[in-house]
Each structure stands twice: as C-alpha cells, then as structure tokens.
Amino acid sequence: MRYILTANNITKCFFKDGKKFNAVDNVSFFLDKNEFCSLVGESGSGKTTLVRIISGLISPDSGTVVCDGESLTPRLRRKNKVICAKLQLVLQNSRAALDPRFSVYESIAEPIKNLKKCPRDEERKTVEKFIEQMELPKSILSQRSGELSGGQQKRVCIARALAADPDYIIFDEAVSGLDAVVRKNVLDLLIKIQKNSGKGCLLITHDIDAALYISQRIAVMKSGRILESVNYSGDIKVFKSEYAKTLISSSSSGIKKYDISVKNG
C-alpha cells in the first residue's frame, strides 16, 4: 500500500517547569487518500503538536513529514501555495478562524482566488456548490461570519477548506462545543464529504464516541506516543491497549450507537 501523507519517527520536545519533555515521542503515522482516520487521546497527549508538524506549521526536532513524495517543512509550506493547498486544516475555533470582516462568500472564495484565479461566474458557482454541500442556504453568502451560529461557522470553515481542493483535510476537534444534535449533523456531513470526495480525512479529538462513529481507522495517542492504530468497522474488541478500553468504557457523550447505515450506506 502506498501511504501518501506520512510522518516518520517524529519527536518534538518542550520545556515544562524547567524540564524538557517529549510532547511527541518518536511517532510514525500515515494518512491515506480515501480514508477517514481519527487520532484520539486525552488533553495534553500531543495530538495538536503532532498535527501541527504533519501540516507543516512547525518543525519537529527529529523525523520527517512526506506529502506525495515531497518533504513537507514550514519553509516549503510558506513558499509553495500548491503544497499548502493540498493539506487543509480545519481549526477547532471556527470563530477565530474566520475573518469577521469577510462575508461568507468572501471567506469561501478566498482560496479559490488565491489558487485558481478563475472567472467571477465560475468562482460564484464553485462557492455555491460548497455551500450546497454543507447544507447551508445560499442566503447565508452575504452574511458576516460573526452573525452565524457555531454550527454554521463550522460548516463555512469546512466549505472554505474544500474550496482549496485539498487531497487531505485535518479536522481539529471538529465537533467540540457543539450541542448534541448539531454535533451529529456535522459528523454525518463529514462522513458524506469524505465518501463523495475520496479525500484523506483526519479527525483529531478527545471525543472517543465521535472517533468511533466516523472512522475507518483509529490511532490512540497517550503521553506523546501512538499506542495503537486499528482498522475499525464497529467492533470495539479490535482495541488492545488498556488506555483505549478505558476511554471507551468511560465515554458518556451523546452519540452512543455506531450507525452503520450512515457509515456504509
């Protein structure tokens, strides 16, 4: 199997209370096209640090990230818009991620303007296509992002990421802070997007239920290390680590049932 986005033996250390520690400790990871994977672990386990390295936002102390055969570094990301577009990150805080001065249209059109420079009517059609995919009304296009609900802002951020036509999308805590109904709607939408687009999608989360609901593969992270990475089709017996079992048994959030009709339908 050819893994397209790979992180190889990544280590990153920080200082806490004057002591050096490995926030990410010799981790190897891959994200293939056409899969939904989750990276799950408690707060402070190193997920965000690993993802910032995988996205080329910060450098590891050691190890490499390779995207479609090319070594991905913060320098390359800054210099090369095309590489930058290939891998989109949807951040946890949608409100902060959207420029409040921009209309929804401008927010989604920005990556199209930067990357494609297509005629104005084509640009509008593309923006409208993504708005439709996000199950948002066209009337929202003229609104400012600050006027939208949390769930709508999340959808606009996803539409904006899709507008860059990436091969991979990383969702950092895509559903945290959303109420149970909106949370499930957004998760269902992410499943649909992945299936229809064939993109490689990665959900970063401490929400094991969301990971179980959405993923074909789940990597479990603790104290800077990936304890296990399992293919998941609904049977929690695939998890071998005590930590994963504890996470699953202690979860108490809204989505309990693995909904096979959404996942495979």
Answer for which of 29, 31, 36, 47 binds ligand ATP (CB under 6 A) is 47
Instruction: Compute the least distance from the CB of residue 11 to ligand ATP, in Å.
Output: 12
Answer for which of 10, 23, 65, 97 binds ligand ATP (CB under 6 A) is 23
Tokens of 85: 């577009």
- Residue 225 near ligand ATP by CB under 6 A: no
- Residue 48 near ligand ATP by CB under 6 A: yes
State how far the Cα of 103 lies from the Cα of 76, in Å rounded to an integer: 30
- Residue 55 near ligand ATP by CB under 6 A: no
Pick the closer one to ligand ATP by CB: 93 or 133: 93
Pick the closer one to ligand ATP by CB: 47 or 155: 47
- Residue 41 near ligand ATP by CB under 6 A: yes
Q: With residue 51 as reference, give the H or E element that holds it.
A: helix 47-54
- Residue 44 near ligand ATP by CB under 6 A: yes
- Residue 14 near ligand ATP by CB under 6 A: yes
Tokens of 10: 């990544």
Cβ neighbours of residue 153 under 8 Å, at least 6 residues apart? 94, 95, 98, 145
- Residue 38 near ligand ATP by CB under 6 A: no
Window 121 to 150, contacts with ligand ATP (CB under 6 A) = none
Number of other CB atoms surrounding residue 25 within 10 Å: 15
Answer for which of 116, 124, 206, 225 binds ligand ATP (CB under 6 A) is 206
- Residue 49 near ligand ATP by CB under 6 A: yes
Of 163, 157, 162, 197, nearest in space to 177 by CA: 157
Residue 139 burial (CB < 10 Å; 0-12/13-18/19+)? exposed
Cα 10-11-17 angle, rounded to 5 deg? 155
> What is the binding site for ligand ATP (CB under 6 A)?
14, 23, 41, 43-49, 206
